[in-house]
Structure 1
């Protein structure tokens, strides 16, 4: 039996979230954006309608609109059957919108730019500051392109636009492949959200050739031996470098991001001072990490209260000084595709080290020590082994050395 129900897109949201109409029929599932939004605290999950609340005075009209939608999908389904047409998601959507055309206001027709502008403003309520910055930068490039070449509408975002826009970012702005890929990924997220809300019917952005470009970056990690060299440095004469050294080593032996390893507090040290337990800032995951002896020593040195960190950029500058003083100056050849051209440089290793090197070093060193991958992923937060293996830095030589201990080669 066909049945309609309404669900919230984000039932745990603290702000308004979209309502979807779900229609289960003939072992199929039809999903339709109602265009309606509600704060979950005003939603009755059992009745699938707004609660009768004084705080949400418009609930009668709101629920009436959902009733019209439910009656509309049932009418559309019956009409297809009566006309001898086998219902599917495509013709059900067409029939539903035809049924509703005179009974309910359709979502306002938004231009692509209007949607993006509204979406960025809306995202400020529930997304990180860094994400909003990425959104704004992508939007800036889109507006510049539209002004210089051609207007951008939902229906014009196709493979022709994609190829021309790639050239615009690569050649005119001399962006690296990974930066270009980040902007394409953001554009696709904008269009996907607009599609979910019923504003876009052009699916060219899902074509496999409309892809997010990614180039493996020349990132480095520091081995256990190199970390020991850093740990042995006597930097008491330079408090700023001493502080950076201590914080960086905490990151190298916990696998936490800069935003997390610089915020460790006494209450994060649990289980008789054997485990660090934190809720990560970026993902909100709670992770538990065994306390390494180096971490324990640094925490004791600061009475479990780590010194206040510099900004990430300042710390990266000072960190290069620390690693250089440790004598980590091996020459590394790097390549980057910028402006559509491959650029090669040879740099001393210390120049490639940043605060994020700590996290990569943690993951790579544990992997080389044959700690089970799943155990490392529990700390780093990687969802798949494939994404984890792309993250760690293991050279061909190190991989061969690791295999020497495998029974197959004995």
Structure 2
């Protein structure tokens, strides 16, 4: 059996700043090289472990030798790192199969013979799969067709499910096609996702996905199959019978006291956090998503209302201003933009600092399941707060202040009551507020 080693050819860096990965195969003193179908940046390659590694954008900017403007496009995402490592594993498996075939046939082999067979198999496979990869080709088409109508982040889950399907196909050796994705496939694929693992830099192995992420992946696959069926592709309809178990997620939102604490905290000596508070509290008082905060212009604000086309859903929304949202806009009336926005990454970081300063630190238990295993972590609340918490805070506080679910949904743009209902369930004060609104305060009632 020969030895395999992978090396990143940094001497062949391309315009994309990524380098090709080369396989070095050696046996009996003979050594041959061949490029594999993976390219990555040097900071994403760990030569010692022979694997691609994930580097956060913040860390990458600190260690990258040159200040490239498009660094975020150069470094690999989690899913891309996973794809490269799957490709490496597949190459190892293919070489091992070639060696075993020679040995079973009792044919003495050289390094050149192994690499030639590897190249031929790769070429034959490419030719055969040109007409057999309809599912993956159609998935690429789906992503491309929706690039202009969907948020970039929302399409990421489709790229992720594609990577998971490729990994499943490589590990099980079962070709994934539209006609083979039935009820039984969903069961096998779910078990495969539960069993996926990742290894950190210390060699510790842990599950790659939790049950919530797995449920999202399976739901996305169902949505994609329905889309394919509507476009005339023959799909095995038995997949519809597979039931996806979804876990109830925690709703992290500020309560009335916490929101008041944020509004009243003295930030006269901290202009940065003062602006961050205004952005976050505006979201809490309007229910706007960060994507709509970013697109907000003065032309959208007329007659004490915000009127805009929601970036995510492409629907028109009208949001009445209240005393809090109005006062924040009025504070920046002399500036070009209604709000002093900064990047989402910095905003989320500073919001945590702001909430910690406001002593929003009640312990919050986060429970997740990986297969049957229950994992619990307790965080101080400020660590779980980010810009999207503002929208959730608007919903919960509006309900607690007596607005009906229908009224709140009309302002936030929610159209599915099933997804909205979790806010109604989590608002413990809601029943009392509704009772008082309908029947009056207890102090005003006379005992019979």
Assess same fold via TM > 0.5.
yes
Cα distance 1:331–1:401, how it changes in 2: closer, same or farther (>3 A)? farther
- Which residue number corresponds to residue 258 of structure 2? 226
Is 1:246 the counterpart of 2:278? The answer is yes
Structure-2 separation of matches of 1:202 and 1:133 = 25
Cα distance 1:307–1:374, how it changes in 2: closer, same or farther (>3 A)? closer
* Alignment of structure 1 residues 9-408 onto 2, 5 Å: 111-149=134-172, 150-173=174-197, 174=207, 175-207=209-241, 210-271=242-303, 274-303=304-333, 305-392=337-424, 394-396=426-428, 398-399=429-430, 401-402=432-433, 405=436, 407=439
Structure-2 separation of matches of 1:403 and 1:125 = 43
- Secondary structure at the residue paired with 1:262? helix
Cα distance 1:307–1:384, how it changes in 2: closer, same or farther (>3 A)? closer
- Which residue number corresponds to residue 25 of structure 1? none
Query: What's the CA shift for 1:184?
Result: 1.0
Cα distance 1:153–1:220, how it changes in 2: closer, same or farther (>3 A)? same
| Uncovered stretches (5+) of structure 2, i.e. residues with no partner | 1-130, 198-206
Structure-1 separation of matches of 2:153 and 2:196 = 25
Structure-1 separation of matches of 2:240 and 2:416 = 22
Structure-2 separation of matches of 1:320 and 1:194 = 42
- Secondary structure at the residue paired with 2:426? coil
The structure showing larger relative contact order (alpha-carbon pairs under 8 Å, at least 6 residues apart) is 1
Cα distance 1:311–1:341, how it changes in 2: closer, same or farther (>3 A)? farther
The count of aligned residue pairs is 298
- Secondary structure at the residue paired with 1:133? helix
- Secondary structure at the residue paired with 1:253? helix
| Uncovered stretches (5+) of structure 1, i.e. residues with no partner | 1-107
Task: Give per-residue Cα distances to partners, 1:241-272, cap 9 Å, x unaligned.
Answer: 2221110011000011111123322212211x
Query: What's the CA shift for 1:233?
Result: 1.9
Cα distance 1:270–1:312, how it changes in 2: closer, same or farther (>3 A)? same
- Secondary structure at the residue paired with 1:143? helix
Query: What's the CA shift for 1:133?
Result: 1.8
Larger CA deviation: 173-182 vs 322-331: 173-182
Larger CA deviation: 302-311 vs 349-358: 302-311
Larger CA deviation: 313-322 vs 298-307: 298-307
Task: Give per-residue Cα distances to partners, 1:16-43, cap 9 Å, x unaligned.
Answer: xxxxxxxxxxxxxxxxxxxxxxxxxxxx
Query: What's the CA shift for 1:309?
Result: 2.3
- Tell me, yes or no, if the aligned pair for 1:333 and 1:347 is still in contact at 8 Å: yes
Structure-2 separation of matches of 1:190 and 1:394 = 32
Larger CA deviation: 309-318 vs 279-288: 309-318
Structure-2 separation of matches of 1:393 and 1:267 = 37
Cα distance 1:297–1:325, how it changes in 2: closer, same or farther (>3 A)? same
RMSD: 2.4
Cα distance 1:254–1:315, how it changes in 2: closer, same or farther (>3 A)? same
Normalised to the residue count of structure 1, the TM-score between the two structures is 0.67
Larger CA deviation: 114-123 vs 310-319: 114-123
Query: What's the CA shift for 1:404?
Result: 5.3
Cα distance 1:270–1:140, how it changes in 2: closer, same or farther (>3 A)? same
Structure-2 separation of matches of 1:223 and 1:251 = 14
Task: Give per-residue Cα distances to partners, 1:95-140, cap 9 Å, x unaligned.
Answer: xxxxxxxxxxxxx986322322333233334433123322111111
